Amino acid sequence: MSENDDILESPTLDLDSPVAEPDGPGRFLAEAVQREALSTLATTRKRAAAKNAFTPKAVHQIRVASKRLRALWQLMRPVIEPQIARDADARLGGLAAVLSRSRDIHVMTDLLADLRDSDEPLYRGAFDRAAALLDSPEAVEFDQESTRTALLGGLDGDREEWRLLVLPDDEAIVDPGLARTYSKTRRRAETAARTGSGDDNHRWRKWTKYLRYQLECLGEPGTELRRRIAGLTALGGSLGKRNDLHNLRSQLEQRNQGNPFGAVFRAIDLRDQALARRVKGVAETLFALSPDEMTATLRRELESDN
């Protein structure tokens, strides 16, 4: 079987069409962002056109790619036409939302099984009853062909916007670009720590990922930048696990029809508390600097690395 046997027939993109030329020198970082976006779009379009585009693994990969692309638009947002960035964010967010229900059910089912295996055998009946509530076919069904059409159209539209984009200079990538993302991520960390809300944790996680994805695309990172990216990766993973626990509890509460889930909720809360302690320590290190101090640090690290 050849590499392309798994791809459905679809319009061919002109990969050799011209990219908008930047107006002047000093755009090494901006060009890196554009290359990353176009590469991600090409790979994701191939996945979306594949016959197996809607397996749990493929859905996850497409959703991660949409988040990476949204992160890159957020990086550009302060220094390009605002409506372009807003439209791109809405377009990519809509694509991810189409697939989110299917992915979320698979994640919650796997998480529930993990919690069940780590609890006392005496209480496993509660976990089995909870799993039965999640195991409803209608929860994961959707029209695959209309979804595929929407995905391919959205990705093609995003690719065209990136190709036509007039790139800002590198200084603007650092400030206000990265500086804005760091500031937003730091504020969301403070809010989540203060409220303990699952929704605030989700917002913090989203911007933590944005900051990580933005830093990852800016050339070959040096030691300090690699350490920062590794910290954001670890933090994003822990915040993601907390988000999964919050979603699982919320789903069970919504679907509960008098079933006693005390053991399940207790297991969720214990794991969440352990994760909360972990993210607190990591966040205190990653966000110790003020936005101005971080901007200066990032500028120095990027100049050294590139």
Asked whether the predicted pLDDT for residue 285 surpasses 50, the reply is: yes
Q: Which among 114, 289, 39, 73 is positioned nearest to 189, based on CA atoms?
A: 289
As a CATH number, domain 28-305 is 1.40.20.10
Question: Per-residue pLDDT tens for 178-235?
Answer: 999 999 999 999 999 999 999 999 999 999 999 999 999 886 667 778 889 999 999 9
Banded pLDDT at 15 (limits 50, 70, 90) = very low
What value does the CA radius of gyration of the chain take, rounded to a whole number of Å?
Answer: 21
Residues 110-128: pLDDT tens digits?
Answer: 998 899 888 666 677 888 8
pLDDT of 11 reads 36
pLDDT of 95 > 50? The answer is yes
Whether the per-residue pLDDT at 24 is higher than 70: the answer is: no
DSSP percent split of the chain into helix, strand, coil, nearest 5: 80, 0, 20
Residue 55 has pLDDT above 50, yes or no: yes
Can you spell out the DSSP letters for 195-243?
H--HHHHHHHHHHHHHHHHHHHTSSS--HHHHHHHHHHHHHHHHHHHHH
- The answer to whether residues 7 and 49 touch, using CB atoms and an 8 Å cutoff, is yes
CA distance 71 to 152: 19
The distance of Cα 115 from the centroid of its chain, to the nearest Å, equals: 24
Instruction: Identify the band that residue 2 occupies on the pLDDT scale cut at 50, 70 and 90.
Output: very low
Highest mean pLDDT among 7-16, 92-101, 120-129, 291-300: 291-300
pLDDT of 248 reads 92
The full set of domain ranges for the chain reads 28-305
Q: Measure the CA–CA gap between 185 and 107, rounded to whole angstroms.
A: 25
Q: How far apart are CA 144 and CA 59, in angstroms?
A: 11
- Residue-wise pLDDT for 248-265, tens only, equals 999 888 877 666 788 899
Are 181 and 133 within 8 A, CB to CB? no
Q: Is the pLDDT of residue 164 over 90?
A: yes
Q: Name the token pair of 54.
A: 């809607």
Question: Quick check: 71 and 214 in contact, CB under 8 A?
Answer: yes
Least confident piece of the model among 55-59, 156-160, 284-288: 55-59
Residue range 25-38, pLDDT digits in tens: 367 899 999 999 99
pTM as predicted: 0.86
